[in-house]
Amino acid sequence: MAYPLPKKRPPFRSPQQYNLPSPPPPCQQYNLPSPPPSYQQYNHPSPPPPCQQYNHPSPPPSCQQYNLPNAPHIYTFTLLHFYTFLFLLLPLLLPPQTTAPDPELALYEKRLLQTTDGQLLPYRILFPEGYERGKRYPLVLFLHAAGERGRDNEAQLAHGARLFLGKKTRKDYPAIVVFPQCAPDEYWTPLSPEGKNWNFPFNATPQPSLQRVIELLAELEKKEAIDKQRIYLMGLSMGGFAAFELLARFPKRFAAAVSVAGGGNPLLAPLYGSNANLWIFHGARDNVVPPAYSRQMNEALAQLGANVRYTEYPEEKHESWNAAFAEEGLLPWLFANRLFSKGRYKRALFSKVQKDTYPYSDKNGVVLELDVYRPQGDAARNRAALLYVHGGGFSGGRRDEPVHVQFAEKLARMGFVVASMSYRLTMKGQSFSCDQPAANKIKTFQAAVQDIREATNYLLDNREKLGIDPDKLVLAGSSAGAEAAVHAVFWQDKDLPPGSPKLPGRFRYAGLISLAGAIVDTSLITPTRAVPTLLFHGTCDPLIPYASASHHFCQPGDPGFLPLHGPYSIARRLRNIGRPFFLATSCNGQHEWNSLPLSDYTDDILSFLNEDVLGGKFRQLHLRYTQEGKCEKGFDTVECTGVRP
């Protein structure tokens, strides 16, 4: 139940208004038998004040002080009083009736926390089987509904406690589960239901019972073996409202939250929406808490890009938690979430990587495929993704070479989705050097761009299944793959053959990573098409120029003479049009820089992804790395030291 309005207390009436006899002498105030009619009848000295006979404190000096009528000096003990006395005494004569404790719920230990306001917070706690303090476990904080308030440290287990007690659940999801109990005369949140319009006050100080829960959470984090990246929040009805309030107060503390038959203030959603993982449940026929309050929270969070699910049961009333707890996917979803605000995309958060292969196109019987690497057990849906195009001169190379796999798995452990694609090797068995006509080289670039577009469309079409944020898809490539990737970003439909695949009208790659790539014309790079760009290249690369020169340094009379513009020229163009870039120059470096950054310079890649792409920083950055060597083609070391794009 949730937040019943207090009923008005009826006005006090005197006993005479109910046709009741006048109140008994003072001892009857304690339900004790009356003394005999008169002590003097038994020749006893005057007795002490009546209550002293039973070691009770003396009554007030005079009933007149309270405007009550004087009690009579003599009270007649009638048959009616005898039966009344027997009725009151009967429960004391019967044997006590006890209810056997539920052996399952007894697994939740009873505890009390002395809080800073001097109160005791009752709570029950379930530890994993074989609990070891040397390990780290998820914590589930469960907030009950209004009907389970009290101080018995029992009622709060009425709903939800058995969800975590199954043998398979305890084996698959070893966790610490905590059920605090709200005081009987308090609420978790200061909700004010007023007809159809409910108020959601958000005060600087939480309600006393909720403040005690916050202190409990801090105490458990300090003393128990808790994984702070996996603290989960669940709430029913009144507890569902409290779940939203705690998310607003601590937006980077909870990895995921579940609200059932609750609601919240949508104006507070921006405080936590970008970090939130929520599953909201409600019954469409709820006559206690209107489902509109869950619907509006779902809409507000979805607009903020939160990882939010909403399930509404058409036939359920307020007790929709029974249906919610029956959802087979609830616990797998809950425990798959982790708190990423302190490390996602920056450090390894996952120990295992899931790899799946998907065909994305069939070219005359040649099936083109994508290897998709994802963090195993990650329930996030809007993840940054990287589409990688391998090198090999358009005649060889594989999407699953060891260096590519290691790079993809490293990023996936940090929370990225990485897709490594195959594409048509149109130069297979042919030379791609100065004897290959330049027109064929252009056609080769175009075919690769067509395949990249198809692979991109596959990822966009399956973004829900793969958990990809379409606004955070970065394109990357090495050598020939980098040449294809650069052109895929900057070529428009008119630059490709008729009938080529098209990308969605408003789609733009979130960023570009080029490892030893180049472009045929820097004027293709316009302010509207430019994206954050990371460029790795060696100044002595003999195949693809660092600055502006012909492909493979062919001579003007060669069939394969094709002017290309490498990263130095691309960075200079981006600087001139006021767009961000990150240029990593290897002085004396050669073509090995088409793959070396994947293993040795991932920090630069991660810096670019986090700062420039995801963080939106504007940087025009040039880093230089110097290595031993001598240029046969390309720039010499003297010119390298003077490069200032």
pLDDT of residue 597: 95
Q: Is 431 domain-assigned? A: yes
* Last-in-domain residue among 336, 364, 393: 336
Q: Residue 23: is its pLDDT beyond 80? A: no
**Domain range spanning residue 155?**
105-336
Helix (H, G, I), strand (E, B) or coil at 109: strand
Which CATH number belongs to the domain containing residue 285 in this structure? 3.40.50.1820
Q: Tell me, yes or no, whether 318 and 406 share the same domain.
A: no
Q: Is 247 domain-assigned? A: yes
* Last-in-domain residue among 276, 305, 336: 336
* Mean of all residue pLDDT scores within the chain: 83
DSSP bridge partners of 535: 514, 583
Alpha-carbon torsion angle 297, 299, 304, 310, nearest 10: 80
Q: Tell me, yes or no, whether 360 and 476 share the same domain.
A: yes
Q: Calculate what percentage of the chain has a pLDDT beyond 90.
A: 64
Q: Tell me, yes or no, whether 303 and 428 share the same domain.
A: no
Q: Tell me, yes or no, whether 491 and 570 share the same domain.
A: yes
| Confidence band for 392, pLDDT divided at 50, 70 and 90 | very high
d(CA 161, CA 179): 8
Q: Tell me, yes or no, whether 309 and 411 share the same domain.
A: no
Answer for the pair 324, 260: CB distance below 8 angstroms, yes or no.
yes
Q: Tell me, yes or no, whether 449 and 582 share the same domain.
A: yes
Q: Is 377 domain-assigned? A: yes
The secondary structure element, H or E, covering residue 477 is: strand 468-478
Higher pLDDT, 74 or 115: 115
Four-residue CA torsion sign, 396, 401, 405, 407 = negative
Predicted TM-score (pTM) of the model is 0.55
Q: Residue 152 — φ and ψ, nearest 5°?
A: -80, -10
d(CA 520, CA 523): 9
Q: Is 497 domain-assigned? A: yes
Q: Tell me, yes or no, whether 559 and 533 share the same domain.
A: yes
pLDDT in tens, 164-194: 999 999 998 999 999 999 999 999 998 766 5
Q: Tell me, yes or no, whether 390 and 507 share the same domain.
A: yes
d(CA 5, CA 602): 59
Residue with tokens 């009290």: 150
d(CA 513, CA 485): 8
pLDDT in tens, 223-246: 999 998 889 999 999 999 999 999
In the chain, the amino acid numbered 470 is: P
pLDDT in tens, 85-116: 433 433 333 333 334 457 789 999 999 999 99
pLDDT in tens, 412-443: 999 999 999 999 999 999 999 999 999 999 99
How many structural domains compose the chain? 2
Q: Is 66 domain-assigned? A: no
Answer for the pair 125, 108: CB distance below 8 angstroms, yes or no.
yes
Q: Is 100 domain-assigned? A: no
Answer for the pair 561, 550: CB distance below 8 angstroms, yes or no.
yes
Helix axes 238-249, 208-223, angle to 10 degrees: 60
The secondary structure element, H or E, covering residue 214 is: helix 208-223
Q: Tell me, yes or no, whether 111 and 249 share the same domain.
A: yes
* Last-in-domain residue among 289, 310, 336: 336
Q: Tell me, yes or no, whether 362 and 315 share the same domain.
A: no
Q: Residue 81: is its pLDDT beyond 90? A: no
Q: Is 392 domain-assigned? A: yes
Helix (H, G, I), strand (E, B) or coil at 572: helix
Residue with tokens 């004569």: 93
Q: Tell me, yes or no, whether 122 and 257 share the same domain.
A: yes
Q: Residue 308 — φ and ψ, nearest 5°?
A: -120, 140
Q: Is 236 domain-assigned? A: yes
Q: Tell me, yes or no, whether 559 and 627 share the same domain.
A: yes
Q: Residue 573: is its pLDDT beyond 80? A: yes
pLDDT in tens, 363-382: 989 999 999 999 998 878 78
pLDDT of residue 84: 45
